[in-house]
Amino acid sequence: MIPKVRKAVFPAAGLGTRFLPATKAQPKEMLPLVDKPLIQYAVEEAKQSGIQNIIIVTGRNKSSIEDHFDVSYELEHELRKKDKTDLLRIVQEISDLIDVAYVRQKEALGLGHAVLRARELVGPEPFAVVLSDDVIDSEVPCLRQLLDVYEYFGASVVALMEVPEASIPAYGIVAAEPVEHNGTNDRVYRIRNLVEKPKPEQAPSRLAIIGRYVLTPEIFASIEAIGPGAIGEIQLTDALRHLLRSRPIYGYRFEGRRYDAGDKLGFLQATVEYALRREDLGAPFRQYLKSLDL
């Protein structure tokens, strides 16, 4: 029996230096895409994928995330008093969303280090990792797509996307070969190697890891076994390469459109496209964009 994935870990303790000064006093995960923080999109994706428990790894400035997913009695009271039932529902839905636990990462020592902080709360079971600054718009939630592959192979799975050569140094890059799955062989890969942030000439392919992972619990021992890697941090990619010595790892080139919301341009693109799709904002916003002398 392949054990079910019930928990998802959300690293949110990074310094967010790419987004200063907005991230000086709040985590980048709280930056709003139109009117919803990035982390809420990611938590909703996890819930829609069947995840039952959320573990958020927080750093300094953690309180806004905790407050966001908590009940806000004063706000609810005010909205009720003013008969703003639509807003009241929106606010209540967030705290009703899912069970959230928090663990602190005191120093931003890397993604691998952040995931290791969740070890006690995850326990000896498979789990997902979701990076909120990778916003993915898709028909089937991206994490659900990965879980389907996990449930078939019973092994760790990472989300993959082809990136332009110039962007390679921003990602974990894999060497992988396609695997026949469900009668096709163009989305599932067997991973043979992984390199964090290589130079384009040293990269084994243009297939980049995007921030959705399903991991088996042996990853924790692998994170402990490795030392600092690219940019001096404990990298999850390096731990996966370590895990590869003893376990198979798969990659899935997911269906959907991904926005790099941790980057200013990517964030703006996501903002424009999400706003255009909104029922309440789409039409006037489109009209406004058309009026611009570009």
Between 42 and 79, name the residue whose CB sits nearer to ligand G1P.
42
The answer to whether residue 210 forms part of the interface with ligand G1P (CB under 6 A) is yes
The answer to whether residue 29 forms part of the interface with ligand G1P (CB under 6 A) is no
The answer to whether residue 196 forms part of the interface with ligand G1P (CB under 6 A) is yes
Angle between helices 264-277 and 282-291 (to 10 degrees): 120
Between 94 and 226, name the residue whose CB sits nearer to ligand G1P.
226
The answer to whether residue 19 forms part of the interface with ligand G1P (CB under 6 A) is no
The answer to whether residue 114 forms part of the interface with ligand G1P (CB under 6 A) is no
Q: By rule CB under 6 A, what string of x and - marks binding of each residue 225-264 to ligand G1P?
A: ----------xxx------------------------x--
Alpha helices in the chain (DSSP H): 38-48, 63-69, 73-81, 85-96, 111-117, 119-122, 142-153, 219-225, 236-243, 264-277, 282-291
Between 171 and 220, name the residue whose CB sits nearer to ligand G1P.
171
For 192, residues 6+ apart whose C-beta sits below 8 A from its C-beta are 174, 175, 176, 177, 244
Residue from 27, 141, 172, 229 in contact with ligand G1P (CB under 6 A): 172
From CA 267, how far away is CA 31, in angstroms rounded? 9
Contact indicator for 252, 143 with CB cutoff of 8 Å: no
For the bound state, the minimum distance from the C-beta of residue 29 to ligand G1P, rounded and expressed in Å, comes to: 12
SS3 state at 208: strand
Residue in 117, 101, 97, 121 with CA at minimum distance from that of residue 42? 97
From CA 43, how far away is CA 39, in angstroms rounded? 6
Six-digit token pair at 291?
């009026």
CA distances from 220 to 2, 185, 224, 241 (A): 19, 30, 6, 13
Which one of 27-35, 40-48, 98-106, 205-213 is the stretch in contact with ligand G1P (CB under 6 A)? 205-213
Between 37 and 211, name the residue whose CB sits nearer to ligand G1P.
211
Q: What letter does residue 204 receive in the DSSP assignment?
A: S
For the bound state, the minimum distance from the C-beta of residue 126 to ligand G1P, rounded and expressed in Å, comes to: 19
160 DSSP β-pair partners: 209, 253
Residue from 69, 171, 189, 252 in contact with ligand G1P (CB under 6 A): 171
Residue from 31, 39, 114, 131 in contact with ligand G1P (CB under 6 A): 131
The answer to whether residue 156 forms part of the interface with ligand G1P (CB under 6 A) is no
The answer to whether residue 176 forms part of the interface with ligand G1P (CB under 6 A) is no
The answer to whether residue 45 forms part of the interface with ligand G1P (CB under 6 A) is no
From CA 83, how far away is CA 30, in angstroms rounded? 27
Residues that bind ligand G1P (rule: CB under 6 A) add up to a total of 14
| Contacting positions for ligand G1P (CB under 6 A) | 111, 131, 134, 171-172, 196, 208-211, 235-237, 262
